[in-house]
Amino acid sequence: MELSERMAADVDAVKTVVGNNFTVTNVYYEAGILTFEVGEAVIKERFKRCLRQLKNLGYIATARKENGVVKLRVFPYLKPSKNDIKVPLILGLVTVVTVSFDGFLRSSNRLYSIVTPGYGLDDVFLNGLYFSAALLAIIFIHEMGHKLSARVDGVTASNPYFIPGFPGIIPTLGAVIFQKEPLANRDDMFDIGVSGPIAGFITAVVVTFVAFETAVWIPADQYRVILETAAREGTVVEVPVIFSFIRLLYGRADQVPFFMSVGFAAWLGMVVTALNLMPIWQLDGGRIFRSFLTKRQHTIASYAALAVLVFTGYYFMALLLILMMGRSVDVAPLDEVSPLSRWRKVSIVGLIAMLILSYVPLNRIF
């Protein structure tokens, strides 16, 4: 049965569903699309309820406000395909290998034997294991945040696809989850976007405390000598602001923590969190900021974020995102009438604070 014939057969059922949820003031076909004009101005909850019921019939709807009138347009709903298991599993196993090998390489750094006399092969493997487990946990929990949020909102999403990296440089490029159907409204867009960074940030904070607990605390003057050695070997990196705040909790003003390899996992977790919060469409921050910005405002915010990336040393990532932006499609929620809820708007302040706490400039700014 063709789509037009199918719609004609189900039109009475569709009218009943829409009529049960809205005050229908007019109904007609517009360019062959079944269109309803409704009397309600506030439609967020009504629309979500209606959308669930329409999906059960095999249909989906959009809501737009045109010339002061809220219009619902109904389309056939194509049920998402089943999630692939084989490819995500293979990629996950390969990523475990690259991260584990990277952990072994980092834990073999001769600085550890300088700071910790008697540091041997057992310690190398143990620190490598801590590093691998911590980094994989941060990435996995980040993606599960997205997955669970999508499930709560009734949105079908793929299994996480881990992206292997290059041991000794960057062990993994993170992971991605693909959204398989459109989002109902701006609240859902915000929730799915923010859930991953929050989950990943909390996990990274836990890993950071583990890093402090397993660190070797050494006198400040001795640390300067080690820092010079590390600088010659290219292993010195800037740390996020949150590291400095957590250090204050330990109250050792005359000592400096020298982190074992799990400290790099915490550092990388913070980097991933901060970068994902940037308001660029391909990143989680793209969904978050697009949920309350217009398309034009979001485009301006994206280019401003790219400038920040370049200014702080993320040249390759900025170039990659610029190339990808040319192929980006602005995907609006089905309900373009309802605004983002007030408490979500207020929570943007907390997200910006999280970005500041976790952002790690690769270049010295001052």
pLDDT band at 1 (very low <50, low <70, confident <90, very high): very low
φ, ψ at 192 (rounded to 5°) = -70, -35
The pLDDT assigned to 234 comes to: 55
CB atoms within 10 A of CB 130: 21
Please give the mean pLDDT across all residues of the chain. Answer: 88
Beta strands in the chain (DSSP E): 24-30, 33-38, 59-66, 69-76, 161-166, 170-176, 216-219, 255-258
The pLDDT assigned to 115 comes to: 78
The pLDDT assigned to 259 comes to: 87
Q: What pLDDT digit, counting tens, does each position of 42-101 carry?
A: 999 999 999 999 999 999 999 999 999 999 999 998 888 888 899 999 999 999 999 999
Q: Which fold would CATH assign to domain 3-76?
A: Hypothetical Protein Ta0175; Chain: A, domain 2 (3.90.1070)
Closest residue by Cα to residue 337 from 50, 32, 17, 26 = 50
**Domain ranges across the chain:** 3-76, 86-358
Q: What pLDDT digit, counting tens, does each position of 207-229 carry?
A: 999 999 998 888 877 777 776 66
Spell out the long-range contacts of 102-108 with Cβ–Cβ below 8 A and sequence spacing 24 or more: 102/131, 102/132, 102/165, 102/167, 102/168, 102/171, 103/127, 103/128, 103/129, 103/130, 103/131, 103/132, 103/135, 103/171, 103/261, 104/128, 105/167, 105/168, 106/131, 106/261, 106/264, 107/131, 107/260, 107/261
pLDDT band at 135 (very low <50, low <70, confident <90, very high): very high
Tokens of 281: 């469409």
